[in-house]
């Protein structure tokens, strides 16, 4: 039985009583009884004081011994003094003639005895091996029956049952996502008060599908439903239905819905439903494999009961595009609830939840942390807070400070610092100009995000990093901003070409990103005048088996035009970047010199150096001093 399944329940969903007397106590009682019986057989029942044999002979000579009982099998002698006392001693197996004559002369009553062993003592040597054989065969039978029971119960559902007696997570632990929680609360209210909905003829959806990127908290929301529902909650993952035996998945689906019906009103949660809900007929094995039969059984079960029965199915997936259409039609999963990446206010609330039980320094402003983490899901934010705590421990601090959050964000977003990489002077200078080219273009072009940090310390897979952070969340981007980003991406390559007259392989990742941007501009976003308002998809991998013989959606002539447009966009971005860096060569040199001296500078320093480079007059770059870095700005403590 699962430890999270709560107390055992009968067919009506009520807890069943188990015997308070544990099974292992029976074996302890039997062991004690056997110990008493065996111990009593070999227990020494001798009474009186124990004396030496010589003392016994001396007492006989002094006529102090009245009678003795002699065991001729062990030489044990038990006697009684004339004053009423008792004694025992151990002599020879056969009394000597002298000792026997002494006893006769002193009128000592003698009682020879040959004790007979008990029946139990005689049977123990025979019963012990027989008992061991019986125990061995009994253990083998129990093991075989257990394996047979496992085989017979393989078709039973593996769902974990949560009840109102064991609430773990509630909606208070789910920060943000008020719209999602409102739709889930509507289902909970229906299960708690079905008469209120039935009075006006409202029908609650049979199934709710939570859709969103990984880490956004879909499973967490389902756990919160388990704590808020007030009805039995059955939790199972899609992989629990699949087994090596044919028909097991369908059998477990039937058992799951049967268990839910016995409970009356209940919620069934299926995590990662895409593992069994993929489109039928899209596999290479045809339409009769185990996964499709499991899906067919689930579709039949969802159609087999009415909504008034009080059973609601909640499922979660991050791949809604591969689900079978029959699973998403009305009457099955009627409602799809999107759980997107959190916005700024939601990220702030999530950070406050994860920092609730941690020691946070007053200089930590969670609003700044939330603004600097765009695109992070709830799991990423939880990992960020944990990484900050780990940095604090490694640094010997007993409290998490703002610099720990900064280091944690760098580690999560750009990777860990590689201390083992040592660059020579030429590589270090070229890396400085490469990153300076990115930073200068990002600082000069309005469509780029502000520069946050520039470093030439090897980090992650790169020799240097230029990090930009948006000032606010963006949901769309204009064509001019895309061109600005292309110029910023190519800034490192063009800085190398401008300063050294040649380029290196350090811009390979930049070229890949720029080409992908240009390709999507032409093929998906309609940002090419020659192509016009047409889109042909992302060109990603095809779902196995579906459209196996996929053909290209456009002609060879259109493909040639697409390639020409992608090249034109990249060439224009390259020319624009080269011209901009040439006009701001003093600023490029200043930023590169600052990186060589300080290794890491922030966005404020980049803007300050660009302002210095625009000083009127014939000022050479070698005569331009690099002022020391200003002290970091003091951050107000968080109000939360």
Structure confidence by residue, pLDDT tens digits, 248-301: 667 777 777 777 777 777 788 888 887 777 777 655 444 446 677 777 777 877
For domain 49-115, give the CATH number: 3.30.720.210
Q: Which of 292, 406, 435, 496 is catalytic?
A: 435
Average pLDDT of the segment spanning 40-48: 56
pLDDT digits (tens, 9 = 90+) for 522-543: 998 888 888 888 888 654 444 4
The rounded distance, in Å, linking the Cα atoms of 491 and 510 is: 9
CA distances from 90 to 55, 93, 95, 139, 607 (A): 11, 9, 11, 47, 108
Does position 318 have pLDDT exceeding 70, yes or no?
Answer: yes
If you average pLDDT over each of 22-26, 115-119, 272-276, 398-402, which comes out highest?
Answer: 398-402
pLDDT computed for residue 640 by the predictor: 32
Kind and range of the H or E run holding 588: helix 585-598
Mapped onto helix, strand or coil, the DSSP state of residue 61 is: helix
CB 106 within 8 A of CB 65: yes
Kind and range of the H or E run holding 89: strand 86-90
Residue length of the chain: 640
Token duo for residue 568? 């034109």
Q: What is the CA radius of gyration of the chain?
A: 43
pLDDT computed for residue 28 by the predictor: 74
pLDDT computed for residue 13 by the predictor: 41
CB 505 within 8 A of CB 430: no
Predicted structure pTM score:
0.62
The rounded distance, in Å, linking the Cα atoms of 145 and 151 is: 10
CB 166 within 8 A of CB 241: no
Mapped onto helix, strand or coil, the DSSP state of residue 596 is: helix
Q: At what angle do helices 425-444 and 491-500 cross, to 10 degrees?
A: 130
Residues 6+ apart with CB under 8 A from 617: none
pLDDT computed for residue 36 by the predictor: 60
* Domain(s) of CATH 3.40.50.300: residues in the chain: 160-338
Token duo for residue 63? 């006529």
* Domain(s) of CATH 1.20.58.760: residues in the chain: 425-623
* Sign of the C-alpha dihedral computed for residues 160, 162, 168 and 171 taken in this order: positive
* Domain(s) of CATH 3.30.720.210: residues in the chain: 49-115
CB 168 within 8 A of CB 154: no
How, if at all, do strands 465-468 and 451-455 pair? antiparallel
Token duo for residue 451? 């520069």
The rounded distance, in Å, linking the Cα atoms of 12 and 307 is: 19
pLDDT computed for residue 153 by the predictor: 46
The rounded distance, in Å, linking the Cα atoms of 404 and 276 is: 42
The rounded distance, in Å, linking the Cα atoms of 168 and 173 is: 10
CB 175 within 8 A of CB 350: yes
CB atoms within 10 A of CB 223: 20
The rounded distance, in Å, linking the Cα atoms of 105 and 290 is: 101
Does position 615 have pLDDT exceeding 80, yes or no?
Answer: no
Q: Which CATH superfamily is domain 160-338 in?
A: P-loop containing nucleotide triphosphate hydrolases (3.40.50.300)
CA dihedral in degrees (263, 267, 268, 274; nearest 10)?
170
**435 catalytically annotated:** yes
Q: Mean pLDDT lowest for which of 102-111, 164-173, 253-262? A: 164-173
Token duo for residue 221? 């929301």
C-alpha triplet 490, 495, 499: angle, nearest 5°: 155
Does position 551 have pLDDT exceeding 70, yes or no?
Answer: no
Does position 145 have pLDDT exceeding 50, yes or no?
Answer: yes
CB 566 within 8 A of CB 527: no
The rounded distance, in Å, linking the Cα atoms of 510 and 515 is: 9
Give the residue carrying structure tokens 């601090």. 397
Mapped onto helix, strand or coil, the DSSP state of residue 467 is: strand
CA distances from 421 to 410, 434, 595 (A): 18, 18, 17
pLDDT band at 575; cut points 50, 70, 90: very high
Which class would CATH give 344-414? mainly alpha
CA dihedral in degrees (182, 187, 189, 191; nearest 10)?
-170
How, if at all, do strands 207-211 and 335-338 pair? parallel
pLDDT digits (tens, 9 = 90+) for 485-513: 999 999 999 999 999 888 888 888 889 99
For domain 425-623, give the CATH number: 1.20.58.760
Residues 6+ apart with CB under 8 A from 289: 283
pLDDT computed for residue 237 by the predictor: 76
Give the residue carrying structure tokens 């909504």. 307
The rounded distance, in Å, linking the Cα atoms of 628 and 640 is: 34
For 578-617, b/e burial (b = at least 16 CB within 10 A) is bebbeebebbbbbbbbbbbebebbbbebbbbbbebbeeee
Residues 6+ apart with CB under 8 A from 369: 351, 384, 405, 409
């Amino acid at each position: 039985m699962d430890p999270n399944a709560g107390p055992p329940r009968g067919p009506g969903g009520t807890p069943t009583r188990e015997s308070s007397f544990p099974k292992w106590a029976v074996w302890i009682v039997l062991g004690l009884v056997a110990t008493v019986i065996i111990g009593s057989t070999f227990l020494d029942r001798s009474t009186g004081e124990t004396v030496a044999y010589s003392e016994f002979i001396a007492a006989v000579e002094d006529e102090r011994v009245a009678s003795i009982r002699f065991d001729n099998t062990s030489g044990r002698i038990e006697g009684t003094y004339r004053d009423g006392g008792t004694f025992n001693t151990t002599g020879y197996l056969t009394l000597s003639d002298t000792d026997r004559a002494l006893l006769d002369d002193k009128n000592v009553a003698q009682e020879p005895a040959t004790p007979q062993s008990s029946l139990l003592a005689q049977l123990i040597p025979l019963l012990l091996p027989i008992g061991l054989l019986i125990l061995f065969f009994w253990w083998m039978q129990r093991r075989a029956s257990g394996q047979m029971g496992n085989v017979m119960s393989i078709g039973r559902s593996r769902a974990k049952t949560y009840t109102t007696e064991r609430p773990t997570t509630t909606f208070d632990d789910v920060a943000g996502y008020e719209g999602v929680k409102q739709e889930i609360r509507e289902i909970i209210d229906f299960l708690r008060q079905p008469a209120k909905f039935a009075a006006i003829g409202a029908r609650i959806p049979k199934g709710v599908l939570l859709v969103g990127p990984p880490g956004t908290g879909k499973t967490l929301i389902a756990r919160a439903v388990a704590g808020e529902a007030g009805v039995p909650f059955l939790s199972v993952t899609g992989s629990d239905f699949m087994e090596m035996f044919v028909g097991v998945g369908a059998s477990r689906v039937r058992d799951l819905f049967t268990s839910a019906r016995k409970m009356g009103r209940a919620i069934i949660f299926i995590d990662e439903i895409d593992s069994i809900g993929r489109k039928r007929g899209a596999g290479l094995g045809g339409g009769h494999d185990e996964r499709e039969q499991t899906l067919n059984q689930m579709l039949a079960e969802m159609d087999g009961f009415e909504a008034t029965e009080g059973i609601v199915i909640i499922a979660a997936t991050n791949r809604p595009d591969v689900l079978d259409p029959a699973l998403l039609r009305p009457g099955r999963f009627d409602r799809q609830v999107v759980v997107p990446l959190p916005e700024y206010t939601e990220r702030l609330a999530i950070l406050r939840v994860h920092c609730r039980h941690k020691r946070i320094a007053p200089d930590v402003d969670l609003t700044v942390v939330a603004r600097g983490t765009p695109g992070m899901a709830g799991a990423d934010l939880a990992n960020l807070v944990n990484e900050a705590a780990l940095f604090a421990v490694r640094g010997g601090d007993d409290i998490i400070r703002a610099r720990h959050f900064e280091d944690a964000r760098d580690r999560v977003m750009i990777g860990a610092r590689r201390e083992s990489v040592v660059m020579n002077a030429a590589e270090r200078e070229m890396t400085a100009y490469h990153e300076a080219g990115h930073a200068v273009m990002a600082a000069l072009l309005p469509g780029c995000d502000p520069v946050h940090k520039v470093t030439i310390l090897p980090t992650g897979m790169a020799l240097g990093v230029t990090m930009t952070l948006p000032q606010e969340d963006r949901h769309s981007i204009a064509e001019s901003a895309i061109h600005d980003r292309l110029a910023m991406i190519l800034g490192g390559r063009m800085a190398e070409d401008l300063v050294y007259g040649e380029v290196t392989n350090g811009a390979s990742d930049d070229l890949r990103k720029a080409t992908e941007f240009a390709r999507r501009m032409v093929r998906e976003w309609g940002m090419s005048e020659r192509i016009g308002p047409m889109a042909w998809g992302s060109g990603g991998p095809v779902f196995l088996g579906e459209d196996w013989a996929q053909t290209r959606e456009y002609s060879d002539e259109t493909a040639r035009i697409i390639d020409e447009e992608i090249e034109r966009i990249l060439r224009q971005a390259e020319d624009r970047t080269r011209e901009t860096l040439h006009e701001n060569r003093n600023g490029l040199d200043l930023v590169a010199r600052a990186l060589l001296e300080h290794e890491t500078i922030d966005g404020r320093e980049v803007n300050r150096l660009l302002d210095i480079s625009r000083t009127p007059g014939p000022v050479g770059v070698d005569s331009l001093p690099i002022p020391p870095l200003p002290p970091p700005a003091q951050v107000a403590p968080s109000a939360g």
